[in-house]
Amino acid sequence: MSTPTVSIVIPTYNHARFLSTALQSVQEQTYSDWEAIIVNNYSEDDTIEVVARFNDPRIRLVNYRNNGIIAASRNHGIELAQGEFVAFLDSDDTWYPDKLARCLETIALGYDLVCHGENWIKEGSPPRRMFYGPEKRARYPSLLFDGNCLSTSATLVYKSALHRVGAFSEAPEFITAEDYELWLKLAKTGFSFGFVNEVLGEYRIHGGNQSKVALRNMQAELAVLEQHFLEWGGSNRTSRLQMKKRRALAFYGAGRNLQTDGRHQEALRHFWRAWQTYPFITKCYIAALLSFSANLINPGAH
């Protein structure tokens, strides 16, 4: 086989029930010059058999023990990648047929990384259209102080850019926010981000464990922030206020996720932490009022 233009890195663990759909969405791409590298964390289901059934020389599976750090699987895939570009696809997500074609068209305009919109899919709920960016939000100060505005499975990036910044951090304290930390490193180094204002894939939200995920992601996000705040080095009053506000937004974000999961008492605790940290976030008061009202209606809520 000739060297492919795009390498698709797909980390997986016990997701055979989703992986087949993900790989089918890759095979259905209108742009066909790709390779797909499934980095299998020694799954105990029929992942290997699912991949074998595709019988496509562009698709290969490698077994790699990541010790619970998905960033290690992604980095292993990046090291094996032969393409000029790397696209990431989680094994429970899918792409629409024009994803690679549209991303390549956009990156050819002079960007180093591009990201497109997604439908967020949660069982029992209608799809939610999510668009990322815009470009001004993806510059380093805005990414740092306003939060993440990209999605991993919606991203295509030059492999050389990933190598330049050391790819994903494998620090255990960054687990679930390692993608955000990567975008920060790329933006800080000066790489440019472009956005495709189209929905070109689906991001699957699994029910039943969103509270745990929300709290874990908050802790990881705060760990990423503290590292970059040290590197930012701002010691004047404006910088200190920016940092306080950003920490408060992390607490607020966890509260909103808990609220969405119906855990209103826990949500209120995080809204309170946000208020204590930086009391000037209007939406925090609105969210707290909603959870307080829900608690009055249903005192048995968590």
Give the Cα separation of 35 and 33 in Å (integer): 7
Q: Quick check: 34 and 113 in contact, CB under 8 A? A: no
Residues 111 and 236 grouped into a single domain = no
Look at residue 211 in the predicted model and tell me its pLDDT. 66
Residues 276 and 254 grouped into a single domain = yes
Residues 63 and 160 grouped into a single domain = yes
Q: What does the block give as tokens for 174?
A: 């960054």
Please count the structural domains in the chain.
2
Residues 167 and 246 grouped into a single domain = no
CATH number at residue 220: 1.25.40
Q: Give the length of the chain.
A: 302
Residues 228 and 185 grouped into a single domain = no
By 3-state DSSP, what share of the chain in percent is helix, strand and coil, each rounded to 5?
A: 50, 20, 30
Print burial letters for 63-95: b (CB count within 10 Å at least 16), e (below 16): ebebeebbbbbbbbbbeebebebbbbbbbbbbb
- Ramachandran region of residue 147, left (φ > 0), alpha (ψ -120 to 50) or beta? left
Residues 121 and 235 grouped into a single domain = no
Q: Report the greatest alpha carbon distance in the chain.
A: 64
Q: List all residues 6 or more positions away from 231 whose beta carbon is below 8 Å from its beta carbon.
A: 188
Range of the domain at 33: 6-205
Where is 239: in which H helix or E strand?
A: helix 237-260
Residues 124 and 262 grouped into a single domain = no
Look at residue 74 in the predicted model and tell me its pLDDT. 98
Among residues 205, 239, 269, which one ends one of the domains? 205
Residue 299 pLDDT > 90, yes or no?
Answer: no
Residue 203 pLDDT > 80, yes or no?
Answer: yes
Give the Cα separation of 133 and 138 in Å (integer): 6
* pTM metric for this prediction: 0.94
Is 31 within the bounds of a domain?
yes
Is 128 within the bounds of a domain?
yes
Chain segment 90-131, per-residue pLDDT in tens: 999 999 999 999 999 999 999 999 999 999 998 888 999 999
Residues 194 and 56 grouped into a single domain = yes
Task: Give the side-chain half-sphere CA count within 13 A for 117.
Answer: 11
Chain segment 123-154, per-residue pLDDT in tens: 888 999 999 999 999 999 999 999 999 999 99
Residues 189 and 45 grouped into a single domain = yes
**Strand, coil or helix: what is 74?**
helix
Give the Cα separation of 238 and 234 in Å (integer): 8
Look at residue 205 in the predicted model and tell me its pLDDT. 87
Is 302 within the bounds of a domain?
no
Residues 121 and 218 grouped into a single domain = no
Look at residue 295 in the predicted model and tell me its pLDDT. 80
- Ramachandran region of residue 213, left (φ > 0), alpha (ψ -120 to 50) or beta? alpha
Residue 300 pLDDT > 60, yes or no?
Answer: no
Residues 166 and 260 grouped into a single domain = no
Among residues 140, 171, 205, which one ends one of the domains? 205
Bridge partners of residue 85, in order along the sequence: 6, 158
Bridge partners of residue 8, in order along the sequence: 36, 87
Among residues 176, 205, 234, which one ends one of the domains? 205
Mean of per-residue pLDDT scores for the chain: 94
Q: List all residues 6 or more positions away from 125 whose beta carbon is below 8 Å from its beta carbon.
A: none
Is 160 within the bounds of a domain?
yes
Residues 33 and 178 grouped into a single domain = yes
Is 1 within the bounds of a domain?
no
